[in-house]
Each structure stands twice: as C-alpha cells, then as structure tokens.
Amino acid sequence: MKSIRNTTRWFLPNRVRTVRDDGFTLVELLIVIGVVSILVAVIYGSFDSMSRFFSKENVKADTQKKSRFALDTMILDIQLAGLNPLGMPGGGILSASSTSLRLASDINFDGDFDDPFETVAYDLNGTRLEQTNHIGTDMLVGNVSAFSFTYFDSAGTELPEPVNIPEIRSVQVSITLTQPGGRNGDVLRSYNTRIRCRNF
C-alpha cells in the first residue's frame, strides 16, 4: 500500500499556481483608469448628441405646430369672408394691407354684419401676429420674423398697394417663425399658402 501512495503522488502536477497577495501595480491601475475614462467620454458624447437632437426636433415640431395653427385659423376666416346668404352689402374684406387684414361675414345668416362675432382682423405687431375678434385682441402666434399678405385679382395678377379691395379674389399668406433652439441655434419654419376667396 505504501508503494501505491507514492506512485499516485508522483502523477500529481508539481507546478501549483501561486496567487498574488500584493495587489495591483500602478501600471495596471493607470490602464484601467484610462479605459474607464474613454468609455465614460464615449457614453457622455453619445448622450449629449442625442439630447441635442431631441431638443432640436422638439423645437421644430413646436414651431411647425404653431405655424400650422396660425395658418389654419386665417385660412378658415378668409374663406368665410363675404359669406352673405341674403345678399346684403357690407361684407367681405373691409381693409387690406401687407401686414393687416380685416374681414366680415354674415355667420348667423341674419342679413347684416353688425354682430360682434362677424368681424375678425389680423395684424402684425412687432413679432406678434394678433387676431382681433368679439372677445378682444390676442396673440395668435409669436416669434414671427417675417409675415405678409399678398392680394391677387381674378386673373391671378398681384395687386399693388394701396389694394383696390373689390378686385381681390385670392389672398396669399406668408409666415416665418424663428424659435430659439438652445445650443443648436435658431429654428426657422416658413410657410406660404394662397387662399381663394369663395364668396366674392
């Protein structure tokens, strides 16, 4: 039995792996710190670019929404201008310039344009596009950097100012909004649309 034990022990590996108990070297620590710093820089850069992208897209969407709201409101009122089922005089476009427009419509079909809610006006006041109706004057949209009304006759010819109101058959609205986009700079949105006056 003794000889068998000695033989078995002879087959065991004679090289045993030693475990270091003296910690990491300075070079190893510097390598780890360098790798971690690179990873943090990459992650932060990706996060920052994504944050800028989403911020700019939010500003773009907000600017577009405000522009479309202002245009849709004006389009509806211009299309209704001159609504006059009973054929009474006095409706349609009351005054027109490149930055202001005043309209009247017989909305309640009572044969006149005297009711307060039957008249609406749009005016550019600095960077504010304002709407005036029976409730009062309120800002329709702000941060307007460019705005104009252009008027055309039945042949599609642009009418010069002062505009001869009875010749107007369509109105073109041009609007540009400029919104601050933070570090990405300003966001601009421009829209043009021509509206046919249906009631005259």
pTM (global) more than 0.85: no
Tokens of 28: 């190893």
Q: What pLDDT is attached to residue 162?
A: 93
List the domain boundaries for the chain. 55-196
One DSSP character per residue, the chain reads: -HHHHHHHHHHS-S--PPPP-S---HHHHHHHHHHHHHHHHHHHHHHHHHHHHHHHHHHHHHHHHHHHHHHHHHHHHHHHTT--TT--SS-EEEEE-SSEEEEE--TT-SS-S-SGGGEEEEEEETTEEEEEETTEEEEEE--EEEEEEEEE-TTSPBPPSSP-GGG--EEEEEEEEEEE-GGG-EEEEEEEEEEE-TT-
Q: What phi and psi values does residue 17 have, to the nearest 5 degrees? A: -70, 130
Residue-wise pLDDT tens digits, 130-144: 999 989 999 999 999
Residue-wise pLDDT tens digits, 77-94: 999 998 888 877 778 899
Instruction: Indicate if the pLDDT at residue 15 is higher than 60.
Output: no
